[in-house]
Structure 1
């Protein structure tokens, strides 16, 4: 399977946004690109959303695929911002899915992707893949430990939402799993948790957690 990545024309500070949606709504990196001249890599598995990203002509690489060390392809539920790997969406998350339509999408090893574009240092990594976050992190565990890949700042979504409310016990468990991962690899501290303007930032209630390299 050939790895095809659309590339920008310049290199500045570098981000990765995995779960890029349409490249504009909910984007954690568009502001960095447009206001601060960053570039980066946008990863989105839904081909319909990838086409929308391309229309924006963002100054970033764009990969339309999933990231995994274990699969060459996977079944992906194509449901807008809530889409994800069919094997990783739990019953609560499935309540938010508008359709059960699945498509087969290619998967690539993250190291293969970063080697392809010649980047090993990531200033900011935004990870929002509807339940597959630890799969992605585990796929680069050894490289983060060895320093082959360096990430300065992570923001990772951990909330489990069923369409009406936060499933607090599941959100808390995901947060614990993320903390365990970063404690295990070493070299990071938890910086903060992020939420919407009127939301709480305490454990299990926030939307994202931020880890910073020491």
Structure 2
């Protein structure tokens, strides 16, 4: 059996946790990663595209980082927009790190004060860009998504606006992985009230939710056996 190559952050990596807990046998799925950065570093969905035949949709608001994403993930649908609760334009704050340069991530439409202060103390610089904003239903339509197995959301403090947008009526994912680091697990659960998601688990700075109306299918014994026989 060939060794699986995961790309996600932490140990175990986010993509390994997602794969083993929710999608151990699913092939040909669809993922949406919002806050995708350059599509390689700490990617939570690249594994599924490379190894499981999934179609990936990547959203990155930062113009400088998006150019790298576009080059790194040519097989994916890549969108240079910011997901929010209204369509139009807004100021996106791109963060430049003294250690990692402008491929740092941590950019946001609405940094929380404590987060911005911490970045400033690290010597980070802030560069503002005017970016296009879209609502969740508009994003689903623009990307041509007709099924959605996994949505990974990492928007650095703008989560409440995204959840508001998800309530506007559109296809929802079977599994939602959202960074809770700026708010905490319980606050994130409160923010998701009214959406059909059941809290499943949390690991490191991420919380995982399952859609009660459209949960991921549980693989049967034959599917698991076939997967082992394939060796990947």
The bucket for the TM-score relative to the shorter chain is: 0.7 to 0.9
Is the Cα–Cα contact under 8 Å of residues 120 and 150 in structure 1 kept in the other structure? no
Correspondence for 2:108: 84
One of 132, 136, 144 as aligned partner of 2:162: 136
Tell me, what secondary structure is at the counterpart of 2:119? coil
Question: Runs of at least 4 residues of structure 1 off by over 6 A?
Answer: none
* TM-score, structure 1 as length reference: 0.75
Is the Cα–Cα contact under 8 Å of residues 84 and 165 in structure 2 kept in the other structure? yes
One of 12, 27, 36 as aligned partner of 1:20: 36
Correspondence for 1:180: 190
2 CA distance for matches of 1:133 and 1:120? 23
2 CA distance for matches of 1:101 and 1:182? 31
Correspondence for 1:8: none
For structure 1, the 5+ residue unaligned runs are 1-10, 161-170, 196-206
Is the Cα–Cα contact under 8 Å of residues 72 and 108 in structure 1 kept in the other structure? yes
Correspondence for 2:175: 153
Structure whose alpha-carbon radius of gyration is higher: 2
One of 142, 151, 155 as aligned partner of 1:116: 142
Q: Give aligned pairs, total.
A: 174
Cα deviation, residue 110, structure 1:
2.2
For structure 2, the 5+ residue unaligned runs are 1-26, 96-103, 213-232
Correspondence for 1:166: none
